[in-house]
Amino acid sequence: MQLTGSQILVECLKEQGVDTIFGYPGGSVLNIYDELYRHQSEIRHILTSHEQGASHAADGYARSTGKVGVCLATSGPGATNLVTGIATAYMDSVPMVAITGNVSVNLLGKDSFQEVDITGITMPVTKHNFIVKDVNNLAETLRRAFEIAQSGRPGPVLVDIAKDVTANKTEYTKVPIKKIRKKSDTILEEDIQAGLEMIRKARKPVIFIGGGAVISDAGDEVKEFVSKVHAPVADTLMGKGAFDGEDILYTGMLGMHGTKAANLSVTKCDLLITIGSRFSDRVTGNISKFAKNAKILQIDVDPAEINKNVSIHQSIIGDVEEVLKRLNAKLEQQDHESWVNQVLEMKEQFPLKYNPEILTGPYILEKIYELTQGDAIITTEVGQHQMWAAQFIKYKKPRTFISSGGLGTMGYGLGACIGAKVGNPDKTVINIAGDGCFRMNMNEIATATRYNIPIIEIIFNNHVLGMVRQWQSLFYGKRYSQTTLHDKVDFVKVAEAMGAKAYRITKKEEVEVVLKEALSLNTPVVIECHIESDDKVWPMVAPGAPIEEVITEEDLEEKEK
C-alpha cells in the first residue's frame, strides 16, 4: 500500500512494539506529529519540557524495561538539545533510537533555517546514525536502526529524516520483526576451557560485575556462577542489582568510592573474574597497581574492551548470559572458605559509616530502602547523592538503579525517573538529586505534573556543588571557587508552582513521616532535604592513587594529626 513517510514511520514504530515516545515538536517534524495524533491510542507521546529531558526519559525507559527507548525532536536546536542525552546513553550502552527531522532535501547544506548536520555532530556518540533523503529507504533504515540499537553491545542510533521525506509517498509492506539473538558466535570453546582452568586453579578469586551483566539480563546466571565459584563479589556503579546487594558474599562497589572490603579484596585476590565491565578509571585507580597480585579473566560482548584499559590474561567474548550458561554447565563446585572468611572479616571491620546525630543523605537513603523494602526503582543525578545512593541502598534486582555512569551527566535523573515510571507504572520510582543538579532539570517537574506521573523527587540541598566542593576541600586548599549556591531559590515554592506536592525536611525526625506520606500519594512529589554543606562521600581513593589506598574520614583525621 502507498503511504507517506510519516505514516511509514509510525507503522515501523508499531512493528517494533514501541508504545511510548518522548519528544518535542517543531517545523521539520510536523508531518510526523500529525500522524502520531492519529495513532495516539497506540503510541503514547510524552511532551517533555526540553528535548534533553526527552532523551533522558527515553534512556530511563530503556534501562528500566530492557526495551528500546525512543525520542523525537525537530531540526536544528531541537536536534542538538538531544546530544547530551544521546552521549549519556552511548557511554552506558543503552538501546535508544533518536529520531530527528531536518530541512527538505533541496535545502540541505545551504544553512537553511534550523538546519544542522546532526549526523555529523552525533557520529562520535552514536553506535550508528543515518540521514534519510529518500522515502523509499525510510522503512528499511528504521528497521536497521532498531536492530543495531539492540544487538551485541547496545547503544543509541540516530535517524535524521528530511522533511519532504515525511510527506512523500512510497509502497509500504509490513515486515515481521525477528527477535534479536544474543551474541554467541564469538564464544570459543578454547576460551571457555581456559577460563575454567583459571577458576579451578584460583585460591583467592573475586568476581567483579559491571553493567554488561544488567544489560544481558544475566541475574540468574550470575547468582549460579557466584555460588559455584564460591567467591566474594564487587560491582561497578552500572552493575548494581546484577547480584543481590543483600547477599553475604557481596562486598560493595569497587573503585574511587568503593568499600574498603571490595578494594582490598581485589588488591589481594589471585584471580579477578570480570563480567561485563570495561575497567573505567573510576574503578581502577592507578592502573599499574590495579589487581597487581591477580590474573584477570574478562567476559565481555565487545572485543574492543579487551586489553583497552587493563592488560588481562584471558578473555571470553560474547553475551554475558550466554557465556555464564556455558561456564556454569561445566564448572564443578569450588570451595574457598578460608578466603571468603578473610574477606567477610574485612567487610565487618570496615563498614560504611555516617554521622548518626544529624540529618544526612545516607540516613535518608536507608529510610527509603526500609520503607520501600528495597523494591523501588532508584534513579539519580550525578554527585555526592549519586555515590550515597550506590552505597547505602542494597539493590537486589537488576534495572532498579539507573544513573549516568560513563558521562556523569548532571540533569539526567529527573528525565530518567519519568521514563522509568512510564515504563514501570506499577513500581515506586524515586529520583535522588542534589540542589545543583535539580537546577539543571527542574523544568521536567512540569512534565510529571502534566501527565500526573507519580514520581518522587528527593533533593539533598547542601547549598553547594557537593562533589566538586569535596575535591576542593581535599585537593585544592578549600578554595571554593564557584561551588557555593547560597541564593534565594525556594525549591518547595518552585515545585508547587509547577503543580507538584512539595515538602521541606530540616531534621531527622521528619524523614519517616514525610516519606510515608509521599509514598502513599499517587501524584508527583518533591521533597527538599537540608543537609550539611561539608558532608563528604567516604571512603575515597585520591585521583591517581591505587585502590588499596582507600581512606575513610577517620584515616584522614589520623593522617592530619
| Residue 394 resides in a domain | yes
How high is the pLDDT of residue 27?
97
**HSE of 198, CA atoms in CB hemisphere, 13 A:** 26
What are the angstrom distances between the C-alpha of 241 and each of 133, 224, 309?
Answer: 43, 15, 24
| Residue 210 resides in a domain | yes
How far apart (Å, rounded) are the C-alpha atoms in residues 101 and 116? 10
Shared domain for 261 and 406, answered yes or no, is: no
- Closest alpha carbon to 55 in 118, 4, 8: 118
User: Has residue 224 got a pLDDT over 80?
Assistant: yes
User: Has residue 454 got a pLDDT over 90?
Assistant: yes
Shared domain for 322 and 378, answered yes or no, is: no
Domain CATH code at residue 528: 3.40.50.970
How far apart (Å, rounded) are the C-alpha atoms in residues 106 and 127? 28
Shared domain for 162 and 239, answered yes or no, is: no
Which tens digit of pLDDT belongs to each residue from 128-155?
999 999 999 999 999 999 999 999 999 9
| Residue 177 resides in a domain | no
Global pTM reads 0.97
Identify the domain containing residue 310 by its residue range.
Answer: 189-349
| Residue 546 resides in a domain | no
Shared domain for 50 and 79, answered yes or no, is: yes
How high is the pLDDT of residue 192?
98
> Are 49 and 444 in contact, with CB atoms under 8 Å apart?
yes
Shared domain for 306 and 390, answered yes or no, is: no
**Rounded mean pLDDT of 307-328?**
97
How high is the pLDDT of residue 420?
98
- Closest alpha carbon to 390 in 408, 300, 415, 194: 408
User: What number of other Cβ atoms are within 10 A of residue 230's Cβ?
Assistant: 16
DSSP letter (8 states) at residue 180: P
Domain CATH code at residue 298: 3.40.50.1220
Shared domain for 212 and 65, answered yes or no, is: no
User: Has residue 201 got a pLDDT over 90?
Assistant: yes
| Residue 435 resides in a domain | yes
b/e burial code for range 239-268 (CB count within 10 A of at least 16 → b): bbbbbbbeeebbbbbbbbbbbbbbbbbbbb
DSSP string, 44-80: EEEE-SSHHHHHHHHHHHHHHHSSPEEEEE-STHHHH
When the pLDDT of each residue in the chain is averaged and rounded to a whole number, the result is: 97
How far apart (Å, rounded) are the C-alpha atoms in residues 283 and 237? 9
| β-strand pairing of 169-171 with 2-4 | antiparallel
The C-alpha cell at 396 is 537486589
**H/E element, 340:** helix 337-349
Q: Residue 356: is the preceding peptide bond cis (ω within 30°)?
A: no
Query: Confidence band (pLDDT; 50, 70, 90) for 500?
Result: very high
User: What number of other Cβ atoms are within 10 A of residue 558's Cβ?
Assistant: 10
Shared domain for 378 and 483, answered yes or no, is: yes
Sign of CA dihedral 247, 251, 254, 255: positive
User: Has residue 558 got a pLDDT over 90?
Assistant: no
> Are 456 and 100 in contact, with CB atoms under 8 Å apart?
no
User: Has residue 266 got a pLDDT over 90?
Assistant: yes
Shared domain for 105 and 151, answered yes or no, is: yes
How high is the pLDDT of residue 547?
97
Q: Is 38 exposed, middle or buried (0-12, 13-18, 19+ CB in 10 A)?
A: exposed
b/e burial code for range 2-28 (CB count within 10 A of at least 16 → b): ebbbbbbbbbbbebbebbbbbbbbbeb
Which tens digit of pLDDT belongs to each residue from 396-432?
999 999 999 999 999 999 999 999 999 999 999 999 9
- Closest alpha carbon to 53 in 317, 447, 326: 447
How far apart (Å, rounded) are the C-alpha atoms in residues 119 and 117? 6
How high is the pLDDT of residue 171?
97
User: Has residue 242 got a pLDDT over 80?
Assistant: yes
Shared domain for 130 and 194, answered yes or no, is: no
Question: What are the start-end ranges of the E strands in 87-173?
Answer: 96-102, 128-132, 156-162, 169-171
Which tens digit of pLDDT belongs to each residue from 345-385?
999 999 999 999 999 999 999 999 999 999 999 999 999 99
How high is the pLDDT of residue 253?
98
How high is the pLDDT of residue 557?
82
Shared domain for 200 and 164, answered yes or no, is: no
Q: What percent of the chain has a predicted confidence (pLDDT) above 90?
A: 97
Query: Confidence band (pLDDT; 50, 70, 90) for 178?
Result: confident
How high is the pLDDT of residue 46?
98
| Residue 429 resides in a domain | yes
Shared domain for 330 and 389, answered yes or no, is: no
User: Has residue 559 got a pLDDT over 80?
Assistant: no
- The residues assigned a catalytic role are 51, 113-114, 163, 467
Query: Which residues fall within 8 angstroms of residue 18, CB to CB, at 6 or more apart?
Result: 43, 68, 70
How far apart (Å, rounded) are the C-alpha atoms in residues 454 and 427? 10
| Residue 86 resides in a domain | yes
How high is the pLDDT of residue 304?
97
Which tens digit of pLDDT belongs to each residue from 504-554?
999 999 999 999 999 999 999 999 999 999 999 999 999 999 999 999 988
Which tens digit of pLDDT belongs to each residue from 63-84?
999 999 999 999 999 999 999 9
Helices assigned H by DSSP within 425-549: 435-441, 445-450, 466-475, 491-497, 511-520
**H/E element, 115:** none
Phi, psi of 324 (to 5 degrees): -65, -35
How far apart (Å, rounded) are the C-alpha atoms in residues 58 and 89? 9
Q: How remote is the C-alpha of 132 from its chain's centroid?
A: 30
Domains in the chain, number = 3
**Rounded mean pLDDT of 283-293?**
96
Q: Residue count of the chain, please give it.
A: 561
Query: Confidence band (pLDDT; 50, 70, 90) for 487?
Result: confident
Shared domain for 312 and 211, answered yes or no, is: yes
User: What number of other Cβ atoms are within 10 A of residue 341's Cβ?
Assistant: 9
How high is the pLDDT of residue 341?
98
> Are 74 and 114 in contact, with CB atoms under 8 Å apart?
yes
User: Has residue 561 got a pLDDT over 80?
Assistant: no
- Closest alpha carbon to 56 in 370, 437, 367: 437
**Rounded mean pLDDT of 442-456?**
98
